Chains A and B, each alone.
Chain A
């Protein structure tokens, strides 16, 4: 049972939560913050009560989708996961999730903790608890006004992993040269996942160059194949650093407009059908591979995991589909160039001429620096854009970006109010047509809020 201080912190957090709920408010960080102020070790104290331990999911992109996949997988094997809500992936969000799902005596209602951790918070969280599994999906430049430089961030994460208990399994993306190195100094097991289909990806490194240099010696990396941004089949011709051997690997990835199929390259898996991933895009294929690797680290059988993934439903803004007045809206959350390019690639994998509703905000949760839109590959998108409605606090930056990418002026419309922007985008699409909604975090919240007000989607907090 947790010690007195932890119980006190737990109680204080729960009281704060009750107070907020009485006031009709939910989903804030306050309960976790209050509890951690009283006992900074609260997470470890409550987590130690979880029979199957804690899984931490971190990295720049794919945290929410991957941890939801892992959540479904653990539930399919009869476990009861405690999960922090999307977007609350700082330490206080984890504490908040744990205490709201624990009794006053500090006994959690679930048996496994499944926590998304913001990559900048990961070193600190790793210093506080001893997880059973740590997954790092990828590291891209993201909101540099907050995280600054990626090399520095990788160093801090690597240092924290080096200090982990040897019983922790570290799960890493072998195709990301920055991430692949993070497990080097870990005394315990490391599992790697990656894509080994020679037909997937091209030879030319994409414009975002977080890792075209060797993370060990600084020499230019050689890519046999670039899958997404700096993920691919890489090696360093100078110091000899190479991609680690993949424990979970897709030897074939078949993509359609709504899903993908992964043929796994393991001796056992060859006996099974391909894993069906019911959301589009290569980046979601990576998310599924990451989830399968975590399942293996948790000793969950592949058929159980594969079935859970086949039945997966996407989260807020992750290719969620909404029908409004006979038009399909596909909601895609974008927050950095790598995520944006992955979304664009998914759009272009199938032949279409998208109509866009694009929304750019610059609040803290979006990243205050909108420079990233110039690293995103709008040039690939521009020639096929049928029509674009642009909105948000920084709508004019986005309209200007589309102009420089080569979208003709008469196809770009700037519309200031969220509701009007939705109306305009729907009005411009034919009956039965599709509108692709690309929005940053708070812009997506606002657009989704407007859709909820009109009864098209459930409010976010029921998600």
Chain B
């Protein structure tokens, strides 16, 4: 079996260690004897939407986000959209999460349209949310670090990924963190996210493999280190949010 991971705009949208998510996905597949190929998809390329089983889309700086937004408004956005519609999975974090929603509304400029595959809307907030982030989910704790000024609100077609225990999550108001819609996951959790949240990594891997190989039951791994990291980080977060 093999797995194809597309790292979206790694030169522009990879901040706060987001690269660790790709490392985690690839290693967890390799440890199960799955052959992994990771390809960078960025501006100047013409996206082959048939190739990826799994898209990873991280956060970026303002300059990066502008360039990426413009690129996604063209044929590359259409290829990504078609790929997601035909069963590819996606993990999107922070800026990537926002760009897959309907729109981003800056403080004093017209709204910037997103790809619209996640039923979420984001507007600029004045105070930046920076700190440890812990959310409860049906599958376990989500533990990470958030760093964003956007406030994201979920529409009826997106489910929250979890409920905030420490930190702010989507908007600091409704206690929701992240979004899940079909096989697309959005979250504000850096940290990196997946190495400390192996349950989420494995859920994404199973979805990704299903695209070409049908439903998969992944062999369980020994996650002692992952769980220890999650527990220690959650402990620190409770004392120092």
B11 at the interface (CB under 8 A from A): yes
CB nearest neighbor in B for A392: B232
Distance between Cα atoms of A152 and B61 in the complex (Å): 9
CB contact between B226 and one of A148, A150, A393, A400 (< 8 Å): that residue: A400
Contact across chains for B131 and A150 when beta carbons are under 8 A apart: no
CB contact between B15 and one of A141, A207, A362, A368 (< 8 Å): that residue: A141
B159 at the interface (CB under 8 A from A): no
A212 at the interface (CB under 8 A from B): yes
Contact across chains for B63 and A218 when beta carbons are under 8 A apart: yes
B140 at the interface (CB under 8 A from A): no
A215 to chain B, nearest CB (A): 9
Interface string of A130-171 (1 = CB under 8 A from B): 000000000001001100111110000000000000000000
Contact across chains for A374 and B62 when beta carbons are under 8 A apart: no
| Residue among B17, B19, B24 facing the most chain A CB atoms (10 A cut-off) | B17
B128 at the interface (CB under 8 A from A): yes
B52 at the interface (CB under 8 A from A): no
| Residue among A213, A369, A400 facing the most chain B CB atoms (10 A cut-off) | A400
**Chain A hits for B131, CB < 8 A:** 145, 368
Contact across chains for A396 and B11 when beta carbons are under 8 A apart: no
Distance between Cα atoms of A414 and B231 in the complex (Å): 14
Distance between Cα atoms of A137 and B234 in the complex (Å): 36
Contact across chains for B61 and A399 when beta carbons are under 8 A apart: no
**Chain B hits for A373, CB < 8 A:** 17, 20
**Chain B hits for A145, CB < 8 A:** 130-131, 145, 147
Contact across chains for A371 and B190 when beta carbons are under 8 A apart: yes
Distance between Cα atoms of A394 and B195 in the complex (Å): 14
B67 at the interface (CB under 8 A from A): yes
B87 at the interface (CB under 8 A from A): no
Known contacts: A374-B19, A374-B192. The answer to whether A369 contacts B10 by CB under 8 A is: no
A403 at the interface (CB under 8 A from B): yes
Contact across chains for B20 and A369 when beta carbons are under 8 A apart: no
Contact across chains for B128 and A148 when beta carbons are under 8 A apart: yes
Interface string of B211-241 (1 = CB under 8 A from A): 0000000000000011011011100100010
CB nearest neighbor in A for B44: A220
Contact across chains for B20 and A374 when beta carbons are under 8 A apart: yes
Contact across chains for B17 and A399 when beta carbons are under 8 A apart: no
Known: A396-B233, A397-B233, A403-B225. 14 other contacts (CB 8 A): A144-B15, A145-B147, A148-B128, A151-B61, A152-B62, A209-B12, A362-B236, A368-B130, A369-B16, A371-B18, A375-B19, A394-B232, A400-B226, A404-B27
Query: What residues make up the interface of A, taking CB atoms closer than 8 Å to B?
Result: 141, 144-145, 148-152, 207, 209, 212-213, 218, 220, 362, 368-375, 393-397, 399-401, 403-404, 409, 414
- Interchain Cβ contacts under 8 Å between A and B, 27 examples: A141-B15, A151-B63, A152-B62, A213-B12, A218-B67, A220-B11, A369-B130, A369-B145, A369-B190, A369-B191, A370-B145, A370-B191, A371-B190, A371-B192, A374-B17, A375-B17, A375-B20, A394-B232, A394-B236, A396-B228, A396-B232, A396-B233, A397-B232, A399-B228, A400-B196, A403-B225, A404-B195
